[in-house]
């Protein structure tokens, strides 16, 4: 099995998963198409970008509920009436954000190339991949975390299932490592939840990392080292 080396650089991730610029807004358009009246992509994509970007800024500053569509209209430069050509309703806008992130995350998490790696390398790939995605789509994660209460019951449920699925994927990797005699611990489930929490810190505590000047690669290494240490792993 030629599982190693596996390129875990941020550059490689960005190349494998285009989650910024036009490909992203195309993705938004695709999942959101039925709610929109605008069919011309050359007009729709830039406006979608303005609408979503400004929503993130405003929701980040005062919360989504407290942000009015008048605020959004002013920030985007699109009139109130104009906005409704792009969204079905205000709630619909929040729902679209959650849906785009969840579908994207689901795609990235299902990547076969990662799932086939040996435990330590797989862990390394999962941690780096998740942090890079966190970093690139930071506003989306942050929004979904803080505004979850405003989403529909189905969407809240789906978000919770997504986190459990992530935990389960880590746990499976840990257990594979235990079976291979690499890891040992009597609290694997709690350790998996802790690794998930460490990763979430990257978008929840961005202010703290900015303060200390920690870069994403540094933090990725810290999370990997810490997780492996907690699993009792000793490099050969």
The string of DSSP codes covering 34-80 is GG-----HHHHHHHHHHHHHHHHHHHHHH-TTTS-HHHHHHHHT--H
Dist CA 36 CA 43 (whole Å): 12
Residue number with CB closer to DNA (40 or 212): 40
Smallest distance, Å, CB 83 to a second copy? 20
Segment lying near DNA (by CB under 7 A), choices 52-60, 69-77, 107-115, 140-148: 69-77
Query: Can you say how many angstroms the Cα of residue 111 is from the centroid of all Cα atoms in its chain?
Result: 15
Cβ distance 143 to 56 under 8 Å? Answer: yes
Residue number with CB closer to a second copy (39 or 149): 149
Choose among a second copy, DNA, none what residue 190 binds, the Cβ cut-off being 5 to 8 Å by kind.
a second copy
194 binds a second copy (CB under 8 A): yes
29 binds DNA (CB under 7 A): no
Cβ distance 55 to 97 under 8 Å? Answer: yes
Choose among DNA, a second copy, none what residue 44 binds, the Cβ cut-off being 5 to 8 Å by kind.
DNA
57 binds a second copy (CB under 8 A): no
Cβ distance 192 to 174 under 8 Å? Answer: yes
Query: Can you say how many angstroms the Cα of residue 92 is from the centroid of all Cα atoms in its chain?
Result: 20
61 binds a second copy (CB under 8 A): yes
234 binds a second copy (CB under 8 A): no
12 binds DNA (CB under 7 A): no
- What is the sign, positive or negative, of the torsion defined by CA atoms of 45, 51, 55, 58? positive
- Calculate the alpha carbon distances from 34 to 91, 92, 212 in Å: 15, 11, 44
Q: Which of 31, 198, 206, 217 binds a second copy (CB under 8 A)?
A: 198
Choose among a second copy, DNA, none what residue 234 binds, the Cβ cut-off being 5 to 8 Å by kind.
none
Find, among 191, 203, 195, the residue nearest to 222 by Cα: 195
Q: Which residue ranges make up the site for DNA (CB under 7 A)? A: 37-40, 43-44, 47, 67-70, 77-82, 84-85, 89-91
Question: Which positions lie near a second copy, rule CB under 8 A?
Answer: 60-63, 65-66, 146-147, 149-150, 160, 163-164, 167, 187, 189-191, 193-194, 197-198, 201, 205, 207-208, 212, 214, 219, 222, 226, 229-230
């Amino acid at each position: 099995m030629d599982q190693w080396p596996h390129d875990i650089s941020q550059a490689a991730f960005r190349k494998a998963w285009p989650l910024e610029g036009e490909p992203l807004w195309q993705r938004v358009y695709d999942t959101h198409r039925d709610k929109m009246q605008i069919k011309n992509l050359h007009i729709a994509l830039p406006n979608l970008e303005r609408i979503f970007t400004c929503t993130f800024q405003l929701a980040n500053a005062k919360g989504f509920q407290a942000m009015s569509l008048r605020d959004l209209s002013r920030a985007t430069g699109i009139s109130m009436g104009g906005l409704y050509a792009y969204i079905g309703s205000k709630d619909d806008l929040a729902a679209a954000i959650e849906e785009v992130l969840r579908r994207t995350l689901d795609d990235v998490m299902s990547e076969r190339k990662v799932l086939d790696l040996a435990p330590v390398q797989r862990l390394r790939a999962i941690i780096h991949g998740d942090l890079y995605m966190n970093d690139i789509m930071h506003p989306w994660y942050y929004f979904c975390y803080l505004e979850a209460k405003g989403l529909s019951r189905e969407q809240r449920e789906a978000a919770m299932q997504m986190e459990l699925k992530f935990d389960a994927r880590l746990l499976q990797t840990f257990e594979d490592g235990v079976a291979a005699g690499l890891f040992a611990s009597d609290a694997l489930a709690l350790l998996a939840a802790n690794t998930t929490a460490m990763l979430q810190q990257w978008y929840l505590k961005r202010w703290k990392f900015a303060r200390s000047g920690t870069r994403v690669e540094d933090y990725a290494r810290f999370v990997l080292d810490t997780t492996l240490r907690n699993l009792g792993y000793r490099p050969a």
